[in-house]
């Protein structure tokens, strides 16, 4: 933090002389400090996963960073998680309204755009701070097409085949770019498990992986059972051995 930046990080989000919005960049820094979250698209749907490090007595069935938004749609978050809940609430309401008005499930991109639009508003109007969270929005659209979107505090939304956010996401993204190819749901789950392990730089992080999926078959969001996650993690360790990742 240079002293020269002091003027640009208060009250309302304003431009710095070099055309930057520091509050937005600081909010993105909050995302960078969050634990890793990944999303991987397969030919048969999408997989999202996060690393959760519960304390000893924490009840692990309350998932903190993966949220179901609608039947066919979920979110994985990295950054300031209370903000993620606020956005998820918004997404649920938007999704429900869509069902009521058009009698059909909302498109994944529509949700991503809606949330990103709110993010943008929060960078332009006084009286609020930007959101401190990035979201991977994954789901399967009406025609059975899997969709994976990223939204961030700036209000940007982009579609990806595979994406990682949070601490260590740079090296995980590198790994995904090298390793990703369209495949089965299991391929996607294994790749996601491998990605989270890389972020953790440990060999035994699999127990902390929380994973959810929406398969194109039934278009239903479901948490992946712990046993399956463990099996994916084991396969990941075999397929993408440490140091060779």
Give the footprint of its own copies on residues 155-214 (CB under 8 A). Answer: 155-156, 158-163, 173, 176-177, 180
Q: Which stretch binds its own copies (CB under 8 A): 3-11, 185-193, 197-205, 230-238?
A: 3-11
The SS3 call for residue 42 is: strand
Q: Nearest 5 degrees, angle CA 214-CA 219-CA 223?
A: 35
20 near its own copies, judged by CB under 8 A = yes
Q: Does 226 bind its own copies (CB under 8 A)?
A: no
240 dihedral zone (left: phi>0; alpha: psi -120 to 50; beta):
beta
Residues belonging to the chain: 245
Residue 229 C-beta: closest distance to its own copies, Å? 20
59 binds its own copies, rule: CB under 8 A:
yes
Residue 62 engages its own copies in binding (rule: CB under 8 A): yes
CB of 72 to its own copies, least distance (A): 18
Using the rule CB under 8 A, is 80 a contact of its own copies?
yes
- Do residues 142 and 130 lie in contact, with contact meaning Cβ atoms separated by under 8 Å? no
What dihedral angle (degrees, nearest 10) is formed by the CA atoms of 216, 156, 84, 148? 10
CB of 49 vs its own copies, minimal distance in Å:
16
End-to-end CA distance of the chain: 34
Is the Cβ of residue 21 or residue 192 nearer to its own copies in the bound state?
Answer: 21
């Amino acid at each position: 933090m240079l002293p020269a930046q002091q003027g640009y990080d208060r009250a309302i989000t304003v431009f710095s002389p070099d055309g930057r919005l520091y509050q937005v960049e600081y909010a993105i820094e909050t995302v960078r400090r969050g634990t890793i979250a990944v999303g991987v698209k397969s030919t048969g749907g999408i997989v999202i996963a996060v690393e959760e490090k519960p304390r000893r007595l924490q009840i692990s069935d309350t998932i903190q960073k993966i949220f179901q938004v609608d039947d066919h749609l979920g979110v994985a978050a990295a950054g300031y998680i209370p903000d993620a809940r606020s956005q998820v609430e918004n997404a649920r309401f938007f999704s429900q309204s869509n069902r009521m008005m058009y009698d059909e499930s909302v498109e994944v991109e529509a949700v991503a755009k809606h949330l990103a639009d709110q993010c943008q508003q929060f960078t332009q109007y006084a009286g609020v701070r930007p959101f401190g969270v990035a979201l991977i929005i994954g789901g399967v659209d009406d025609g059975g097409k899997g969709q994976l979107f990223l939204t961030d505090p700036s209000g940007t939304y982009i579609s990806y085949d595979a994406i990682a956010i949070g601490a260590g996401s740079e090296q995980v993204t590198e790994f995904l770019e090298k390793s990703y190819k369209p495949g089965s749901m299991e391929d996607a789950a294994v790749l996601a498990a491998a990605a989270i392990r890389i972020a953790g730089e440990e060999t035994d992080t699999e127990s902390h992986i929380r994973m959810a999926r929406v398969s194109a078959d039934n278009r239903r969001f479901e948490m992946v059972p712990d046993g399956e996650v463990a099996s994916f993690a084991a396969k990941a360790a075999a397929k993408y051995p440490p140091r060779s990742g």
